[in-house]
Structure 1
Amino acid sequence: MAPDSRPIPPLNLKRRFAVTSLAVIVIIALGLGWLLSNMLTQRMLQREGEVTMDFVQNLLTTDHSGGFFLNPQDPELRTRFLSSMEHVTSMREPVRANAYSRDGTMLWSTDAALVGRRYPVNDELDDALKGELVVHSGRLGSDGPAKAEHEGLALRAPFFVESYIPVRDAPGGQVVGVMEFYKVPVQLNEAIREGLIQLWLACAASALGLFLSLYWIVARADRTLREQQARLAETQTLATAVELAGAVAHNLRNPLASIRVSAEMLQDGTSEPAETTEHCQDITSAVDRADRWITELVRVSQAPQLQDEAVALGPLVRACLEEMGAEMMRRNIRWQAPEHDPAPVRAHPAMLRQIVLSLIANAIDAMPDGGEITATLQQTGARCVLRLTDTGHGISDEVRQRLFRPFFSTKSGGLGIGLALVKRMVTQWQGEVTLSANSPRGTCVEIVLPRAATS
């Protein structure tokens, strides 16, 4: 069977662009929003940590209590340091404050039970002892604190901001210790929330604006393409009509001339009865020939309006062979009908019958000295195949490539519409038609049609 050549459905540019572009723009907007929201949150937390670091450094420098980190046993330094920490503990946001010496020992804490402890694994503390400001946010899990120094925080503040602030003996000097603050920054959280809302609204508005702009451009382009395709179709239709009119005028001229000559001979009144009969037969033959051409033209004009339906292919083919049976017997042609019936196909029954009759008539004309016509049916998946083979003289490759073109015919009296109409209608039914050489001689016409949908 020939490869699948179903007609390609028209491209719905607007729908495909809308789905694809919307998905891509949404993904980009979500990714960009997530990246910017993280940057905004981290930047605001970092800025809040810098403000806290400046406050603590200025406080410890002003009352000269920073020496407590180097000499925590000194009573005077301890008094000064505790006095400074009263300002810190009086603040609303800190939930816990800790002070670490250079070796990581907790010298002071708002939770007295933690004083003197030392945590072997604390990467943030190690970074702060190197002089870096470390700020990050977190949420305590329901299964308990994730870090040892978080003990006792779960009941007080599930969400917190943790800051490790290096303390220097003088501005820009050596790091002598670290202050750690756990905060629940209500105002900062509200500012971050408002900022994130504005950021996501901006991302959504930008994505929507970009999508609408691009969709408008593509919709306009699609409309222009459709208008151009419509104009092109009109131009092609007009060209076909002009070519068809020329073919009709050219082919009708000959039978009309025969009718005129025969009528003039009859008007003379000098013709013998045998000659009169011959002239009448010529007139009848010419009128029949013109009538066949006009019938083909009417079928061509009506073909696009025909509605397809479920057609039983086996009985239709057998009926066509029986209808042409008398003509085949007169020409000494044998025929073989299909033995089984496949599933119904989608087609117009009257037009499909006319197509099969036309193909059988072509096969009969190809065997003037007799021969055999074989019709077979085969079902392959969702398609049914009709093969009509004959043992005639065959067709050359050059002629075979041109047979399905409009107005091409190998018959002297043919209009060249029959096979072109076959091709057009089978394609309209989402099928295909091919013509090939039959072994050892003759021609094989193969029509592939889709199966009718079962209810």
Structure 2
Amino acid sequence: MIAAMLIVGFWVSSRIEQAVVQNSATSAALFMESFVSPLSQDLARSDTLSGPAERALTEIFEGTSLGERVVSYKIWKSGGLVVHASDKELIGQVFEPSDDLKLAWSGRIAASYENLNDLEDQAEAALGIPLLEVYSPIREVWTGQVIAVAEFYERADALDMDISDARRKSWLVVGSTFLASGLLLFGIVQTGGRTIRDQRKQLEKQLEETRAVSQQNLALRKRVVS
């Protein structure tokens, strides 16, 4: 039963964490889209951003409240090409697309929490702080077609506390449920045990009574015969 509780507990905790991360990522992606998408429309026809668009993006993420939330970002074209990034050394490099990047190219928002294992994530991993990694599709305004993907890393201090709180509550619920179930099963077993013991006593009593009657009958037969 303990093994079952652990399995269910880890599963519930994982599902809750995924939901919390996805909700936070969706909110962050929609917020980012309002800034990034209008400045990235050049990518519908080119693999590079115009000079004014690059400068505008840089200004948005430097010295603003948004820049305090987002510690780094990249803009991807198909094939794993980095066309713009907060780390200028990455611009023009090509990386193997991750599963989350591929998912974003299909039009869905992808996110991961503290999973900085990709080659291009080395700088972010070195920061040593909780980060929410989000991949958000950038669509062409008129057609809705995905023309690029924005990847950004948002500080996740508040998210970290939310996830920890959700984990505690989920384990409390699972533990309480299994404890209640265990007590219920214990009660059922105890009741069943008492019932069995009572029945055994009744059977033993009936057996003794049957033996007594049998002995009486045997004594009567002996007297009749004699």
TM-score w.r.t. structure 2 length?
0.84
**Structure-2 change in CA distance of 1:79 and 1:111 (3 Å):** closer
The residue that corresponds to 1:321 in the other structure is: none
Do the aligned residues in 2 keep the contact of 1:99 with 1:108 (CA within 8 Å)?
yes
How far residue 191 of structure 1 moved from its aligned partner, in angstroms, is: 0.7
**2:194 corresponds to which of 206, 217, 223:** 223
Q: Distance in 2 between matches of 1:135 and 1:53?
A: 10
The residue that corresponds to 1:155 in the other structure is: 126
* Counterpart check, 1:123 vs 2:99: yes
TM-score w.r.t. structure 1 length?
0.44
The residue that corresponds to 2:111 in the other structure is: 135
How far residue 222 of structure 1 moved from its aligned partner, in angstroms, is: 2.2
How far residue 149 of structure 1 moved from its aligned partner, in angstroms, is: 0.7
**One-letter code aligned to 2:10:** W
Do the aligned residues in 2 keep the contact of 1:66 with 1:81 (CA within 8 Å)?
no
How far residue 156 of structure 1 moved from its aligned partner, in angstroms, is: 1.1
The residue that corresponds to 1:208 in the other structure is: 179
Do the aligned residues in 2 keep the contact of 1:139 with 1:159 (CA within 8 Å)?
no
* Counterpart check, 1:193 vs 2:164: yes
Q: Distance in 2 between matches of 1:124 and 1:195?
A: 24
**One-letter code aligned to 1:91:** E
**1:91 corresponds to which of 57, 68, 77:** 68
Q: 1:260-271 alignment to 2 at 5 Å?
A: none
* Counterpart check, 1:65 vs 2:39: yes
How far residue 99 of structure 1 moved from its aligned partner, in angstroms, is: 1.6
Q: 1:430-445 alignment to 2 at 5 Å?
A: none
How far residue 68 of structure 1 moved from its aligned partner, in angstroms, is: 4.8
**Structure-2 change in CA distance of 1:228 and 1:209 (3 Å):** same
* Structure with greater proportional helix content: 2
The residue that corresponds to 1:170 in the other structure is: 141
Do the aligned residues in 1 keep the contact of 2:114 with 2:132 (CA within 8 Å)?
yes
The residue that corresponds to 2:19 in the other structure is: 43
**1:52 corresponds to which of 28, 31, 54:** 28
Q: Deviations over 1:419-443 (max 9, x none)?
A: xxxxxxxxxxxxxxxxxxxxxxxxx
The residue that corresponds to 2:152 in the other structure is: 181
Q: Distance in 1 between matches of 2:96 and 2:126?
A: 25
Identity %: 21
Q: Deviations over 1:260-281 (max 9, x none)?
A: xxxxxxxxxxxxxxxxxxxxxx
How far residue 189 of structure 1 moved from its aligned partner, in angstroms, is: 1.4
Q: Distance in 2 between matches of 1:150 and 1:78?
A: 21
**2:55 corresponds to which of 61, 75, 79:** 79
Q: Distance in 1 between matches of 2:156 and 2:191?
A: 52
**Structure-2 change in CA distance of 1:199 and 1:171 (3 Å):** farther
The residue that corresponds to 1:243 in the other structure is: 214
**What SS class does the counterpart of residue 90 from structure 1 fall into?**
helix
The residue that corresponds to 1:275 in the other structure is: none
Larger Rg computed on CA atoms: 1
How far residue 171 of structure 1 moved from its aligned partner, in angstroms, is: 8.0
Do the aligned residues in 2 keep the contact of 1:97 with 1:182 (CA within 8 Å)?
yes
Q: Distance in 2 between matches of 1:53 and 1:246?
A: 94
Do the aligned residues in 2 keep the contact of 1:97 with 1:110 (CA within 8 Å)?
yes
Q: Distance in 1 between matches of 2:65 and 2:75?
A: 12
* Runs of 4+, deviation exceeding 4 Å: none
**One-letter code aligned to 2:7:** G
Do the aligned residues in 1 keep the contact of 2:43 with 2:49 (CA within 8 Å)?
no
**One-letter code aligned to 1:234:** K
**2:90 corresponds to which of 108, 111, 114:** 114
Do the aligned residues in 1 keep the contact of 2:80 with 2:97 (CA within 8 Å)?
no
**What SS class does the counterpart of residue 137 from structure 2 fall into?**
strand
**Structure-2 change in CA distance of 1:172 and 1:79 (3 Å):** same
How far residue 194 of structure 1 moved from its aligned partner, in angstroms, is: 0.8
Size of the aligned set, in residue pairs, is 223
The residue that corresponds to 1:232 in the other structure is: 203
Q: Distance in 2 between matches of 1:37 and 1:192?
A: 9
Unmatched segments (≥5 aa) in structure 1: 1-22, 141-145, 258-455
**Structure-2 change in CA distance of 1:85 and 1:184 (3 Å):** closer
**Structure-2 change in CA distance of 1:217 and 1:171 (3 Å):** farther
